[in-house]
């Protein structure tokens, strides 16, 4: 038996099954007659969901052999099957998977908030504050400076002040992290310890910081980029509305969830689906931030009621399916042609971001005299980027149409590298500090054991 409890024969069966799944879909795509209309599009979506679930699960089993996280296997399955490699799943199906992603993000945020215990936050508050200040300022300023001196092609010819303004925007993009990647790795490894606790608290709280910093930087950078524009207090008023409204709505939803869990406690999956779809649309309509709202809701259930563990267990029971679909869909969505076009620049920008993140961690943990595991590996969970960073890149593209599309394309290439490499680095760090636990047997493991 292998270290993970599955024999070499079992892994070989997984590999053969994966090839069969890909082969069936490939033949189906190539031999099926073309067609249009609602029925064909719906059928394509159903096939895409089923294929990503099956292929992602099998790929994650094989990824485990080389010690990389399951979500890297999910991503790989999506990339290979997606519209930029084998084209087994087309662009339209990938776009329609956004509905699934909406539910997944809500569930991930609720789980992240519910994992934050008030006692742990109080205990590590000074460390968290020191790390947040240094990671935000040093990484934002440093990455902005690298972007300015590298001068991507679209910057050349701009006035000096405009280039500085665009570099400031890149600095904000650099401080975004990925709650979904963090929770995906923690869900698989069931890690517990100082590194897991610090990573969870930092990344969940950093989303609030990013929202505030982004609004402030856009307000300051706009007059630098667009002649005639002025700094307006309206942006800060809108920011206050978004942040305070999201916190208030999250608190209300959290209390309602706690009451439901206490008085009824059944069919929670239906309630979570309603949160993921219906409430997300309402939040967007009133200009509240869904991710922040759901984090607050999960935090309230955990810390202001006695339903926290029950709530987490309910989320975890559906978590594996959600993570498979979310990350396999993200892999299919990755723009591989953009990565091929910009890979030298993307490697330079992502490499400098990792280096600055490591330096900021070393300084902040050294000042606080934290234990060696945090000094050495506290930066590892901060590499991943995903949906939040993509959302910011797209928002900047809309706000600044003169250069925004070029900015977004470079950002997508960098995010792709961080999305693929970040989870591997984080899992490696958890393994090195021995915070991971033995994985729970999967369905395929149980079947093999009973055979």
Q: Is the pLDDT of residue 1 over 50?
A: no
pLDDT band at 446, cuts 50/70/90?
A: very low
Q: What is the mean pLDDT of the chain?
A: 83
Coil vs helix vs strand at 129 = helix
**Phi and psi at residue 137, to the nearest 5°:** -75, -50
Can you list the alpha helix ranges (DSSP code H) found in 369-403? Answer: 372-377, 387-399
Tokens (6 digits) for 259: 């009451």
Q: Is the pLDDT of residue 435 over 70?
A: yes
| Mean pLDDT across 90-109 | 78
**71: Cβ contacts below 8 Å, ≥ 6 apart:** 60, 181, 184, 185, 188, 323, 327, 423
Q: Is the pLDDT of residue 4 over 60?
A: no
Taking Cα atoms as reference points, which of 58, 199, 49, 175 lies closest to residue 115? 199
Q: Is the pLDDT of residue 82 over 90?
A: no
The rounded distance, in Å, linking the Cα atoms of 150 and 351 is: 13
**127: Cβ contacts below 8 Å, ≥ 6 apart:** 198, 364, 365, 368, 370, 374
Q: What is the pLDDT of residue 42?
A: 62
How far CA 74 is from CA of 13, 67, 171, in Å, comes to 18, 14, 29
No. of helices (H) and no. of strands (E), the chain: 20, 0
Q: What is the pLDDT of residue 309?
A: 84
What percent of the chain shows pLDDT beyond 90?
25
Question: Which of 46-60, 90-104, 125-139, 296-310 is the least confident region?
Answer: 90-104
96/403: higher pLDDT: 403
Taking Cα atoms as reference points, which of 247, 216, 253, 251 lies closest to residue 232? 216
């Amino acid at each position: 038996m292998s270290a993970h409890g599955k024999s070499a024969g079992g892994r070989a069966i997984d590999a053969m099954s994966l090839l069969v799944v890909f082969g069936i879909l490939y033949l189906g795509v190539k031999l099926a007659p073309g067609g249009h209309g609602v029925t064909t599009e719906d059928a394509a979506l159903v096939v895409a969901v089923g294929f990503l679930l099956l292929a992602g699960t099998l790929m994650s089993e094989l990824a485990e052999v080389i010690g990389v996280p399951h979500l890297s296997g999910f991503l790989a399955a999506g990339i290979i099957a997606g519209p930029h490699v084998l084209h087994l799943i087309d662009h339209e199906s990938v776009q329609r998977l956004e509905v699934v992603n909406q539910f997944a993000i809500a569930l991930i945020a609720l789980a992240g908030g519910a994992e934050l215990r008030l006692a742990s936050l109080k205990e590590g508050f000074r460390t968290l504050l020191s790390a947040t200040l240094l990671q935000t300022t040093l990484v934002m300023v440093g990455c902005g400076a690298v972007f300015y001196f590298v001068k991507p092609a679209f910057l050349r010819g701009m006035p000096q002040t405009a280039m500085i303004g665009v570099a400031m925007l890149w600095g904000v993009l650099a401080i975004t992290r990925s709650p979904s990647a963090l929770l995906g790795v923690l869900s698989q490894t069931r890690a517990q310890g100082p590194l897991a606790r610090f990573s969870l608290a930092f990344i969940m709280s950093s989303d609030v910081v990013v929202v505030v910093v982004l609004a402030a930087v856009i307000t300051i950078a706009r007059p630098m980029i667009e002649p005639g524009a002025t700094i307006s207090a309206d942006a800060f008023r809108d920011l206050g509305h978004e942040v305070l409204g999201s916190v208030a709505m999250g608190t209300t939803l959290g209390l309602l969830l706690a009451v439901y869990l206490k008085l009824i406690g059944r069919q929670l999956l239906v309630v979570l689906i309603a949160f993921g779809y219906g409430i997300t649309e309402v939040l967007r309509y009133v200009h509240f931030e869904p991710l922040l709202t759901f984090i607050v809701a999960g935090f309230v259930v955990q810390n202001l009621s006695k339903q926290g563990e029950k709530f987490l267990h309910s989320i975890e029971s559906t978590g594996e399916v959600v993570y498979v679909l979310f990350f396999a869909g993200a892999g299919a969505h990755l723009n591989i042609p953009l990565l091929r076009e910009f890979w030298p620049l993307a490697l330079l920008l992502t490499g400098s971001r990792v280096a600055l993140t490591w330096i900021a961690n070393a300084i902040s943990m050294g000042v606080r005299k934290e234990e060696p595991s945090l000094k050495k590996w506290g930066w590892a969970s901060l590499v991943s980027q995903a949906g939040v960073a993509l959302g910011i890149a797209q928002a900047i593209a809309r706000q600044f149409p003169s250069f925004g599309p070029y900015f977004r394309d470079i950002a997508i290439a960098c995010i792709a590298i961080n999305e693929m490499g970040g989870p591997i680095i984080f899992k490696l760090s958890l393994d090195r500090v021995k915070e991971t636990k033995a994985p729970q047997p999967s369905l395929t493991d149980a079947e093999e054991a009973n055979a």
